[in-house]
Structures are given as structure tokens and as C-alpha cells.
Amino acid sequence: MALRAGVAVNTASTILNRRPNSWASKETSARVFAAAAELGYEPSRAAVALRMGKFNTVGLIVPDLQNPFYATLAETLETAIGLHGYDLILESSHADVRREADHLRSITNRQVDGLVCVLIDYERNRATLQEYRERGKPVVSLHETGIADLPVDAVTVDFRAGTTQAVQYLIGLGHRRIAFLLAVCEGQREGERPEVFRKLVKECGFRPEDVSFVRCDHTIASARTATSQLLGRSPGQRPTAVLAHNDVAAIGAIRGALDLGLKVPADVSVIGVDHTPIGQHLTTALTTVEQPVERMLAEAVSLLLRRMEDPRYAETQRRTFSTRLIIGESTAPPQPRTGNVP
């Protein structure tokens, strides 16, 4: 290629890699680029990155790509960083805390300039995050409020407003037997949603026997089974409404109700959390608590870019976003009991 352009190899390399110390004229540079195009030559991206100390990639760690919320989050982040010339490297821990810790320790070896992470167990990984902070490796954590301050920048979501709206909405519809479907991975903290739920039903004077807490794992199948068992009680004892930990659990809850011949929302109302696109395209569109994903990730990208420019530009930053209830078709007033209720 250098021979075709009529220049020395070192000159061609300097021009093609756009080194700032290039002394070549515009004519010489044009001739080198034209020769490279004719021969289909492209500079080694890895070699350029190693020399420049910049890879134009951002890493993302999430717990579970089978959960459509995390798939949406990944796509949104990829679009956002792509506007700034960065590619995305994605890792899923498959809801395994040990695998999560391994990914967090190893992903920076995959030539990323910065990292966004959604973790199951923050305490287990606090030392690794602190190490990245000390090394000047830019990291932004996405998590709900209530977690002790981390040594890295954070974008947090406050579920109190949305959960409060959801419970008050069910009460306003007339529901007096309510269940919370807690769907968490092994090692994952319960978080704010069940805390707010417990507090509200107590303040509103619910009898203990009219409030149910059901635990399942993070999968639709587990939520489906748990809900079938919950709703299998006699009509006078089973809940008339279920507030699920997330949209995935809510979808499992709807399927579990259908397994018993119950209709949503005629026989049982269901509310999810996340406002994932798939929930809005079900046969019965899901009532859900929205996380403002696009705004959250725009802020995460802003923090990450600033930190990549200057890892020590300021103290650890924290941005918090609130949630809100989006009313769909999966909630309605409870039906009066009749003698032939299933």
C-alpha cells in the first residue's frame, strides 16, 4: 500500500492512523488514503486503541437478559453511547452472584473505557468498585435508593412514589385483600418496594390476614407457580389484587391466574413494575410502575463521559429519579362475590 502511494511505510502508517505528529501534506495524505481504499486496507482498531489508550467501548453488566427490562436498558444505552462514538460490550451474570463478581472483576480486561453496572449484590462487590475508583476507572452504577452510598458514580431510582401510587390506586378501586409478589434472585436484597407496601397497608388499617407476601425467584415460571398457589385459596380468602415486584413477575402472575380459570382483571387485578414495552402489548395491557429508563441512561452516559474525560474531576456523583404509576388494563374494581365464584 505504501508502495502504491509512493511513500515510506512509516509515512503511510502515520497518515492512516491520523497521528498528530504527521508532517505530510494534504496531497500526500489524500494519495495514501486513496491507495488504502483501493486495496481495502483498514488500520487495526486494537492497535490504534492500545497506542491511544482509548478503546471507544463501554461495558454493561446486568443480572438477567431474559428479563425484557434489562434488554431494553441495554438497547437504550447502546443507542445513547453510540451517539458519542462508543460501542457496547454486554455481560449478563445470569442471576448468579458469583458470576456477577467475576464479570465485574474481568470486564475491564476487555478493553473498555468505562463501565455501567446493574448488580444483584452490591456489598459483595463494594471492594472491587472501590478499587476501580482508586485506579481512575470510570464506573456508573444503576440501582434503587436505599443502598448505602457506593464509591462510584450512581444513578438511582426511587420506587417510593410509584409503589405508593400503586397501593393507593388499588385501595381506591375497593381492594381489601392484597398480595405482594416478591421476585428476587438469590443474594438480592428485597429493596424498597416491599418495605413501602408493608408500611402502607399497615397505615391503611389492613388486617394481617388480608395481606399476603409471596416469594419466588426472578423467573416467569416461578412467579406463575407462586401465584397459582396463592390464588388457589377459597374465594373468601384469596387476594383480589397482586402487586408484583416487576413486570416479569406480573406476567407470571397473570399466567398463574389463568391456570386456575381466573380472569384478569375481573377476578384479580395485577400491577407490575418497570413499564417494559412487552407489558404494554399483552392481551391485557399491564398496569405498571414506570422507571424513566431513557432519562436515567442519558444521565448515566453524561456522568460516564465526564468521568472518562477526567477520572478525578469531582467527588462521587449521585443522581436520583422518581417513579410513577401507569394505568393499563390489568386492574379493575373487585367483583362482588356470588355463590358460583370459582
**If DSSP codes are grouped into helix, strand and coil, which group holds residue 325?**
strand
- The residue behind cell 417494559 is 276
Q: What is the pLDDT of residue 55?
A: 82
DSSP state of 248: H
In a domain, 329, yes or no: no
- The residue behind cell 390476614 is 209
Q: What is the pLDDT of residue 217?
A: 95
- The residue behind cell 402489548 is 281
CATH code of the domain covering residue 92: 3.40.50.2300
Q: What is the pLDDT of residue 25?
A: 72
- 319: which strand partners? 155
Contact criterion met (CB below 8 Å) for 250 and 280: no
Greatest pairwise CA separation for the chain in angstroms: 94
Distance of CA 23 to the CA centre of its chain: 47
Do 186 and 285 reside in the same domain of the chain?
A: yes
pTM, entire model: 0.83
* Type of residue at 153: D
Do 137 and 165 reside in the same domain of the chain?
A: no
Counting every residue written for the chain, the total comes to: 342
Q: Could you list the residue range(s) of the whole structural domain that residue 128 is in?
A: 54-158+292-322
Do 308 and 281 reside in the same domain of the chain?
A: no
Do 205 and 249 reside in the same domain of the chain?
A: yes
Q: Is the peptide bond before 20 cis (omega within 30 degrees of 0)?
A: no
Q: What is the pLDDT of residue 311?
A: 81
| CA-atom Rg of the chain in angstroms | 26
Residue 33, Cβ density class (10 Å: 0-12 exposed, 13-18 middle, ≥19 buried): middle
* 293 Cβ contact partners less than 8 Å away, ≥ 6 residues apart: 72, 73, 76
* 14 Cβ contact partners less than 8 Å away, ≥ 6 residues apart: 21, 22, 24
- The residue behind cell 472491587 is 128
In a domain, 312, yes or no: yes
Do 109 and 150 reside in the same domain of the chain?
A: yes
Q: What is the pLDDT of residue 341?
A: 45
Q: What is the pLDDT of residue 22?
A: 59
Do 87 and 16 reside in the same domain of the chain?
A: no
In a domain, 342, yes or no: no
Do 177 and 284 reside in the same domain of the chain?
A: yes
Going from the C-alpha of 159 to that of each of 70, 119, 248, 289, 324, the distances in angstroms are 17, 17, 17, 8, 8
Do 129 and 143 reside in the same domain of the chain?
A: yes
Do 102 and 190 reside in the same domain of the chain?
A: no
* Type of residue at 40: G
Do 286 and 297 reside in the same domain of the chain?
A: no
Name the grid cell of 150.
Answer: 457506593
pLDDT tens string, the chain, 342 residues long: the values are 556 657 565 666 665 555 555 556 767 777 766 766 676 666 555 444 445 457 899 999 999 999 999 999 999 999 999 999 999 999 999 999 999 999 999 998 888 999 999 999 999 999 999 999 999 999 999 999 988 899 999 999 999 999 999 999 999 999 999 999 999 998 888 888 999 999 999 999 999 999 999 999 999 999 999 999 999 999 889 999 999 999 999 999 999 999 999 999 999 999 999 999 999 999 999 999 999 999 999 999 999 999 999 888 889 999 999 999 999 999 999 987 654 444
Do 193 and 282 reside in the same domain of the chain?
A: yes
The angle formed by the CA atoms of residues 80, 86 and 90, to the nearest 5 degrees, is 80
In a domain, 331, yes or no: no
- The residue behind cell 383480589 is 240
Q: What is the pLDDT of residue 338?
A: 56
Q: What is the pLDDT of residue 53?
A: 53
DSSP state of 66: T
* Type of residue at 313: Y
* 162 Cβ contact partners less than 8 Å away, ≥ 6 residues apart: 273, 289, 290, 322, 323, 324, 325
Do 229 and 146 reside in the same domain of the chain?
A: no
Task: Give the Cα separation of 260 and 16 in Å (integer).
Answer: 67
Give the number of other Cβ atoms within 10 Å of residue 312's Cβ.
Answer: 8
